Amino acid sequence: MDASLASARQPLQLPASVGGITHDPATSAPPQRVPDPPTGVQLQPEESSPKPDSSSSEVAQTTADILQVLQKLQARQSVTPPTPQATSFAPKQELQPQSVSILPQEEPQPSPAAFPEESVSEWDALRTSLRENPHDTEGWNKLVRLAEDSGDLEKIKDAYESLLKMYPNTWSAQIAYLNHFLLPGYFKFAEDNLFTRFLRTSPAVELWKFYLTYIRRINVDPSTRDIVRKAYEFALNHVGQDKDSGEIWSDYIQFLRSGETNSTWEEQQKMDALRKVYHRAVQIPLENVEALWSELETFENNLNRITAKKFLSDLSPSYMQARTVLRQLQRHLGPLFPPPPPSSPSRPYLYLPPKPTFNAAERALVGAWKSYLRWEENNPLEIDEQDRNTFVTRVQGVYRKAVIRMRFFGEIWYMAYVWTNSIGKTEEAINLLKAGIEANPLSFLLNFACAEALEFQGNFEEVHKVFERFLEALRHDLDVHEARIVLSATSSTVSTGAAELIGSQGTEVVQPNASFATQTEENLPQNKELSEKRQEYGLAWTVYMRFTRRAEGLKSARAIFAQARRDKWTPWEVYESAAIAEYHLTKDVRTPARIFEKALETFSDEVDLVAHYLGFLLSINDENNARALFERVIGTFPPDRARPLWERWARHEYQYGDLTAAQKLEKRMAEAYPNDPPIKRFAQRHTYHSTDAIAARDLGVAIVRQSSGTTSSGNSSNSLGRTETQTSLNTTGSTPQPTLTLTPTAASVQHKRPPSPDHKRRDSEGHGPPQYKRARAASPPPGRDRDRWEGGHGGGRKRYNSPSWDRDRDRDAPPQRRGRETEEEKAVNVPSVISWFIGTLPGPSAFDGPVFRTDDLMQVFRGAVIPSATGRSRSPPPPPPRTVGGGRPPPDYGPYQGPGGGRRRY
């Protein structure tokens, strides 16, 4: 701390310590936590919250026993007001009321007298709810409101500290928190524990304004003006590049202008200081940059018109650039920071970022943030290399705002890490990743990036900690998800049993239900979300083993695999990755085979595991063991699940076996799949890679594809086999189709809409109301599309601004013109992506919604005026006569490329 600052300190004002914030080298250290409140409820570790116990011994209950528990809970709830359910930070009672709890937490059934009679306060219930659902933004606002309404400083401190732990750097909460301690007797706590902690990492201009107001309020003596000046410089060095900091620049200028001088030298020093601040401000895209420029012109002209012309001429390019960038910046920031909802002045609304759902609006918001961040990285202000620190400070402030506003989007944290690491601040970049992991503990992106960054530094011990914490978080997430499935299945069973009991008016003779644990275990593998989470969990183990194999050798990787084997959530993919790694690193085939066999003992019902094991044995040319494996497992799976195994073994037999073995295999497959036509197997026997000449030439698939242009060469690989396979899967129990499907698409799936019809046929139909259509021949005459554009036969109206509108708008189209327009038109090819998209849509029979009136819809389309692409300002043509058919050509239904013409957007 500077001695000058200490000497300028006044009693009860604490200016030196506040000013010390600006010059203390320790300000770059990580923020420190405020000490726990000495009294009142204390924040308990998160691990202390009770977890749902899903063990089978506790879950297995008869219907009569569970009904008894429900009756006791209903009796308890009748004397307890409804409150949000969750686990309290500091529970005052051991058992909190559960609204629909069916799983008893203890073996002995408690008597009704054992339940506490007193009700839980709204404060404790809300904190309990926030403990279980920390992303409830409305709940946090309500908690703060309850704390402030109570007037208890300990509750206020506890509420804001809990909120800021979940949402750090929320400036509105920080200011509201500080307001409660800017009172005599609390200045020390506000200054040492709040201001010092908040200002280090905050990019919020509002918080810095609040800080400067506090500094000026406690430093009113003229002898402390230097402390105020240093505080302004401190603030501007942190947020002076923000476009909303214009008010701070103006206040600083007024503060310097109001300074008293006693000599010409002091007056000159004052003018130089003002000029320096003005020159810095007008080169920044501030909201009031134009007003500051006008003030600068007046200021310089009042001093010296000759020097003013030179200064203003030198600054004019930078000022014009700042003005231009300001307009671009406003367009970028408009959708990123919408205005907050109205709130009372005494208690402003606390904006807290919600938990992402990745809907369309949130994805668009992420895209807007990425576009803005890339724009800032490209240096739109064209700051010179000698002012690199200014550019770095500006972009750092932008990324700090981004990770606060988009706290739960790992992609934004990763962008901040990449940019920070690119400017050489490696430690700061890794700290960003750690902060992002704290906000998103389940983020694969951030955890893997942090592990790689630490591995690159050689800090292997920290990498192990990152993976261990990540795996623990994933395990907890899996346990919670499993508990929800168990609770859902149990609730359904209990509800059925309770309904039976209520219907029998309390009869005690009830058939006991099967074990809840058994029922749920049967349903767990069928849960798609749980299965996906388990596969992702296996990916974390696989990446962990890769790290240990790279950094510490194969022995360490084997130790990690041994840990994974003891984990109940480890999927079969971890076994496969370990086996393949053993083979590639040791060239030993026995160890991988033993790992695969161990996996089969645990995951004997996984067809994919068997298929990968079979493929591995075939890849190492161990045909005997591969044949033994195939024969051992093929009978354990039903035909609908065993098809990948049949197909894999058949490919091997077709390529490397003899004809007799291939025919025997085909006979067995015909018994398993009687709906497969014989030509399918014959064609597959004579294919290699993606070349299927039988389908392409003998069945005409290549000709159809060439004429339609709807299928790429990649999609045509094995088109015959895949089409037949899908057909046989989707038509079980039906007779085989007599002919093969000749569609050029990869598969023909049931309930899928066929490809889009030919444009020519669609365009040949009239576009007016049905009652005005005229009869026509079965096939449209040549040049029908051109007739509709050029006003040919049929009296069809020409489109406004069409190619012939300017030429023939004043004369009718004579029938003789049709003679020179009957040349053959080129075939219209549907783009492959459109054909694929239409093919994936459900068929007309699947529609069960409201039926629209076609007449009304066609009348709307017929009367619509579509703007011209040429941009000519001309009135639309008169409506066509209603006595004939024809009508307006259809609009362009090509894929929308966006305002950038299909250019890549961030």
Which of residues 760 and 307 earns the better pLDDT score? 307
Distance of alpha carbon 41 from alpha carbon 28, whole angstroms = 32
In tens, the pLDDT along 186-242 reads 888 888 889 989 998 899 999 999 999 999 988 888 889 999 999 999 999 999 999
Task: Compute the average pLDDT of residues 339-363.
Answer: 82
Report which DSSP code applies to 698. Answer: I
Residue 337's pLDDT band, with cuts at 50, 70 and 90, is: confident
Given a cut of 60, is residue 524 above it in pLDDT? no
Q: Which three-class secondary structure state does DSSP give residue 688?
A: strand
In tens, the pLDDT along 462-487 reads 999 999 999 999 999 999 999 888 88
Q: Which three-class secondary structure state does DSSP give residue 896?
A: coil
pTM: 0.65
Contact status, residue 841 vs residue 752, Cβ threshold 8 Å: yes
Look at residue 609 in the predicted model and tell me its pLDDT. Answer: 94
Look at residue 119 in the predicted model and tell me its pLDDT. Answer: 52
Cα angle 494, 499, 501; round to 5: 95
Look at residue 721 in the predicted model and tell me its pLDDT. Answer: 38
Look at residue 735 in the predicted model and tell me its pLDDT. Answer: 36
Distance of alpha carbon 374 from alpha carbon 412, whole angstroms = 11
Contact status, residue 790 vs residue 813, Cβ threshold 8 Å: yes
Look at residue 492 in the predicted model and tell me its pLDDT. Answer: 63
**104: β partners:** none
Tokens representing residue 113 in the block: 């007298």
Distance of alpha carbon 233 from alpha carbon 249, whole angstroms = 10
Tokens representing residue 601 in the block: 């003992």
CB atoms within 10 A of CB 572: 21
Residue 415's pLDDT band, with cuts at 50, 70 and 90, is: very high
Contact status, residue 169 vs residue 177, Cβ threshold 8 Å: no
Contact status, residue 100 vs residue 70, Cβ threshold 8 Å: no
Lowest average pLDDT, out of 96-100, 295-299, 411-415, goes to 96-100
Tokens representing residue 78 in the block: 């009748």
Phi, psi at 752, each rounded to 5° = -105, 145
Phi, psi at 609, each rounded to 5° = -65, -45
Contact status, residue 861 vs residue 835, Cβ threshold 8 Å: no
Given a cut of 90, is residue 140 above it in pLDDT? yes
The three-state DSSP-derived secondary structure of 346-375 is CCCCCCCCCCCCCCHHHHHHHHHHHHHHHH
- Counting beta carbons within 10 angstroms of the beta carbon of residue 357, is it exposed (0 to 12), middle (13 to 18) or buried (19 or more)? exposed
Distance of alpha carbon 848 from alpha carbon 845, whole angstroms = 8
Lowest average pLDDT, out of 97-106, 116-125, 567-576, 600-609, goes to 97-106
In tens, the pLDDT along 76-133 reads 444 333 333 333 333 333 333 333 332 333 344 444 334 343 456 888 889 889 988 9
Distance of alpha carbon 168 from alpha carbon 170, whole angstroms = 6
Contact status, residue 261 vs residue 225, Cβ threshold 8 Å: no
Tokens representing residue 230 in the block: 């240093």
- CA-based nearest residue to 377, from 365, 359, 392, 355: 392
- Counting beta carbons within 10 angstroms of the beta carbon of residue 161, is it exposed (0 to 12), middle (13 to 18) or buried (19 or more)? middle
In tens, the pLDDT along 374-404 reads 999 999 999 988 889 999 999 999 999 999 9
Contact status, residue 441 vs residue 476, Cβ threshold 8 Å: no
Distance of alpha carbon 881 from alpha carbon 320, whole angstroms = 58
Q: What is the helix (H) or strand (E) element at residue 307, kind and residue range?
A: helix 305-333
Look at residue 320 in the predicted model and tell me its pLDDT. Answer: 94
Distance of alpha carbon 176 from alpha carbon 161, whole angstroms = 12
Task: Compute the average pLDDT of residues 408-425.
Answer: 95
Look at residue 332 in the predicted model and tell me its pLDDT. Answer: 93
- CA-based nearest residue to 888, from 852, 847, 859: 859
Distance of alpha carbon 19 from alpha carbon 13, whole angstroms = 11
In tens, the pLDDT along 531-552 reads 999 999 999 999 999 999 999 9
In tens, the pLDDT along 354-368 reads 999 999 999 999 999
Look at residue 862 in the predicted model and tell me its pLDDT. Answer: 76
Report which DSSP code applies to 527. Answer: -
* Summary mean pLDDT of the chain: 73
Look at residue 338 in the predicted model and tell me its pLDDT. Answer: 80
Burial per residue of 187-226, b for 16 or more beta-carbon CB atoms within 10 angstroms, e otherwise: beebbbbbbbbbbbebbbbebbbbbbebbbebbeeeebbe
Which of residues 350 and 502 earns the better pLDDT score? 350
Tokens representing residue 65 in the block: 């026993």
Look at residue 56 in the predicted model and tell me its pLDDT. Answer: 37
Contact status, residue 652 vs residue 614, Cβ threshold 8 Å: no
Whole-angstrom CA distances from 541 to 434, 470, 608 are 20, 10, 19
Given a cut of 50, is residue 892 above it in pLDDT? no
- CA-based nearest residue to 236, from 393, 53, 430: 393
Query: Which position has the token pair 């600054």?
Result: 315
Look at residue 341 in the predicted model and tell me its pLDDT. Answer: 72
Contact status, residue 69 vs residue 118, Cβ threshold 8 Å: no
Look at residue 77 in the predicted model and tell me its pLDDT. Answer: 42
Q: Is the CA virtual torsion 647, 649, 650, 654 positive or negative?
A: positive
Tell me how long the chain is. 906
Phi, psi at 267, each rounded to 5° = -65, -40
Tokens representing residue 689 in the block: 């890679």
Torsion of CA 320, 321, 324, 329, to 10 degrees: -140
Distance of alpha carbon 698 from alpha carbon 889, whole angstroms = 40
- CA-based nearest residue to 140, from 131, 130, 128: 130
SS3 content of the chain, % helix, strand, coil (to 5): 60, 0, 40
Distance of alpha carbon 810 from alpha carbon 657, whole angstroms = 78
Query: Which position has the token pair 């001309």?
Result: 874
User: How far from each other are the two terminal CA atoms of the chain, in whole angstroms?
Assistant: 46
**Residue 673 CB partners (closer than 8 Å, separation 6+):** 639, 643, 646, 728
Percent of the chain predicted with pLDDT > 70: 63
Q: Which amino acid, 407?
A: R
Contact status, residue 41 vs residue 497, Cβ threshold 8 Å: no
In tens, the pLDDT along 23-71 reads 333 333 333 333 333 333 333 333 333 333 433 334 334 445 544 544 5
Tokens representing residue 819 in the block: 């003679």
**Residue 647 CB partners (closer than 8 Å, separation 6+):** 725
User: DSSP string covering 625-661, please?
Assistant: HHHHHHHHHGGGS-HHHHHHHHHHHHHHHHHHS-HHH
Report which DSSP code applies to 820. Answer: G
Distance of alpha carbon 558 from alpha carbon 564, whole angstroms = 10
CB atoms within 10 A of CB 403: 22
**691: β partners:** 688
Look at residue 505 in the predicted model and tell me its pLDDT. Answer: 42
In tens, the pLDDT along 301-321 reads 998 888 889 999 999 999 999
Distance of alpha carbon 263 from alpha carbon 261, whole angstroms = 6
Lowest average pLDDT, out of 90-94, 324-328, 628-632, 752-756, goes to 90-94
Distance of alpha carbon 277 from alpha carbon 273, whole angstroms = 6
